[in-house]
Amino acid sequence: MKSILFTDLDGSLLDPQSYSYEGSQEAIRWLKERQIPIVFCSAKTRAEQEVYRKALGISDPFIVEEGGAILIPRGYFPFSLQPQRWIDEYAVVELGLPYEQIRAVLDRLKGEFRGEIKTFGDLRAEEIAQDSGLSLEMARLAQQREYTETLKFEGPEEEVRRFLRRVEEKGLSWSRGERYYRVRGKADKGEATRVLLDLFKKAFGQVRSIAIGNSLSDEPMLRVVDCPILLQEPDGGWASVDISGLHRLEGFGPAGWTRAIKALASKL
C-alpha cells in the first residue's frame, strides 16, 4: 500500500522561531528512499514553499495558503490533468478565492475596526521581517500572496472578534496561526488534502494517508487522513484538536517532526 505524508511547515517541519529545518534531513532522506511522497500543506505562499522544496530536494505536489491551491509538477501523475491554469511547470488546482477579492472585502471592512489592522499587503518587507523573524528575502516571498491575506490586529479583543464576525458575514473564512490571523475563501487544508488524495488514489489505488501538524489551523487536514499526528505547540501545550484516532506526540519543530517519522517507521 502506498503511503502519503502531508505535513504542516511552521512549528512542524520548521522551527517556529528560526524557520529552520535543521534536524529533519535524516527523516526526509528515509522517506525519500522509500518513495513516500512528502506533501507540504501550509499557510506559506508558493514562493516561500519553493525555497524549502528546493533546499530539501522535494518534488511532490504541495498545498499553499491554507488550501487555496494545489500545485502538481507536470507529469507527476500517470494521467492527464485539467487544471484551471499552469504556472511554470505546475498544474494549479485552485480552490480558494483570488487575493484581490479578499483584499477588496478587507479594505471595505477596515474602517469599521476601532484600532489598527496591519496586513502583509500594506506593510513593507522590512517591517514584516522585523515583526515575524523572517529574513528580508523570505518576508518578500511571504508577501506574494495569491489566495489569503495575513493580518495583525492592534485593538481590543472584543473588536477583533466583531471584525472576524463581519469577515464571516461577507462569505470569507479565517484562521489564527502562530503569530497572525489569515483571511481566505471557504477552501481549507482539509478540502485540498481530500482533492489531492483522490488523485493519489487514482494513480496508486489504495493508499495510507498520514498528516503531521501542530495547530488548530491543521485540524481540517488532520481530520481527513488515516493517521493524524499532532505535535506540541512551542509552549509545551496542545492545540484544541479532537479527532478520533489522533496521535499526540511530544516535541515540535524539526525534532518533534523527526520523532513522528521514527514513530511511524514500522507502519510505512
- Phi, psi angles (nearest 5°) of residue 193: -65, -40
Dist CA 109 CA 163 (whole Å): 8
Verify whether residue 8 is a known catalytic residue. Answer: yes
* pLDDT value at 142 more than 80: yes
Q: What is the mean pLDDT of residues 246-267?
A: 91
Residues 6+ apart with CB under 8 A from 179: 131, 132, 152
Structural contact between residues 85 and 168, judged by C-beta atoms closer than 8 angstroms: no
Q: What is the mean pLDDT of residues 180-189?
A: 94
Q: What is the mean pLDDT of residues 195-212?
A: 97
* pLDDT value at 259 more than 80: yes
Give the strand pairing for 38-40 and 2-7: parallel
More confident residue, 1 or 144: 144
Dist CA 179 CA 123 (whole Å): 15
Structural contact between residues 115 and 154, judged by C-beta atoms closer than 8 angstroms: yes
pTM: 0.95
Give the H/E segment covering residue 15.
none
Q: What is the mean pLDDT of residues 143-171?
A: 95
Per DSSP, 14 falls in state: B
Catalytic position from the list 8, 10, 15, 188: 8
Dist CA 44 CA 143 (whole Å): 10
Torsion angle, alpha carbons of 18, 179, 263, 51, to 10: -50
For residue 64, what are the CA distances in angstroms to 2, 50, 71, 111, 122? 23, 10, 8, 29, 21
DSSP 79-129: S----SEEETTEEEEE-S--HHHHHHHHHHHGGG-SSEEEETTTS-HHHHH
Structural contact between residues 129 and 143, judged by C-beta atoms closer than 8 angstroms: no
Collapsing DSSP states into helix, strand and coil, what is residue 71?
A: strand
Considering only CA atoms, which of 83, 38, 88 is closest in space to residue 58? 38
Considering only CA atoms, which of 152, 99, 110 is closest in space to residue 128? 152
Model confidence at 177, pLDDT cuts 50, 70, 90, reads: confident
**Structure confidence at residue 107 (pLDDT):** 94
> Domains in the chain, start-ordered, CATH in brackets?
2-96+188-267 (3.40.50.1000), 99-184 (3.30.980.20)
- Phi, psi angles (nearest 5°) of residue 69: -160, 155
**pLDDT, tens digit (0-9, with 9 covering 90-100), for 84-100:** 899 989 999 999 999 99
